[in-house]
Every structure is written in structure tokens, then in C-alpha cells.
Structure 1
Amino acid sequence: WKFAYAVVVNEVVRPRLGYYQWENIRENLDRCREYHALYFKERKEQATRIEKQRARKLEKQIDVLNLVFIRRNVELDV
């Protein structure tokens, strides 16, 4: 039982606790802010090719809920 407990704690519980560390929260917020700015430029058709590539890369790192939220906010701003 000790082995099963250790596996669950190390594989399931501890990684989830890492999501709530301040460094991870700050990195996620920075990615979201950067994506918001890039998507806004892209919607106004002012984004360069490099900025579009960066936006695609950020889309793979940001979760779907935040992507939808950011895109909806940009649509309201444009």
C-alpha cells in the first residue's frame, strides 16, 4: 500500500499542486497578455509574419478556456 500511495502522490497530487505556485501563475498570465496583444494586432491586420508565428506558438501553450476568453475580449475591443 505504501508503494501505491507514493505513486499516486508523486504522479497525480504533486504535479497539480505545482500549477498553483506563483511562478506558474505569473508565466500563464504573461502568456495570456502577450497573446491578447498579438491577437489584437492580427485582427486589425497589422501583425507581421513573426508575430503570427508567435501567436500560433502561444495558442498551443494556453488552455482552451483562456483562448476563448481572450478572443472574445479582442472581438469586443475591435
Structure 2
Amino acid sequence: MPIWVDWNRTPVSVHDSEQESLELLILFLRNTYNVRRRSLVMADRERGGFLFFIYQACNPLWIAEFVDRLEEE
């Protein structure tokens, strides 16, 4: 399951089946766009996999940029 974001909830939640990819996304957002207000990665009890929450403004293009880079590897 690829990274997907639920933009219709507050706070925004970011999901994936692998914890490592979410940790890499967090590092990318922090180092590139100074996104620091977020939760820890945790198990998604509703859908399976993992998720974290973002508590500040985050441009969807930033996450798309990370996903594109991840797919290139």
C-alpha cells in the first residue's frame, strides 16, 4: 500500500503499510520544509499499517515530491 493522506480530517493523517517509509517522510518534511508539528508514527488500528498526524500546514505537493523521489529509487 503506498503512502496516502487523509486531507478530510483534522488533524491530517498520513498512512502507509510500512513504518520506515513514514519515518523517512517525516525526516524529508522536517529537513526540507521545516514541518515539525506532528505525532509519532503509530499502528493504525482501523485500517492496519501505520500512520502519523500533521498538526501544521502542509502543502500536498511536498508529500507528492517525497513519493516521487521514493518511486525513483
Higher helix share goes to which structure? 1
Higher strand share goes to which structure? 2
Structure number with greater Rg is: 1
Q: Same fold (TM over 0.5)?
A: no
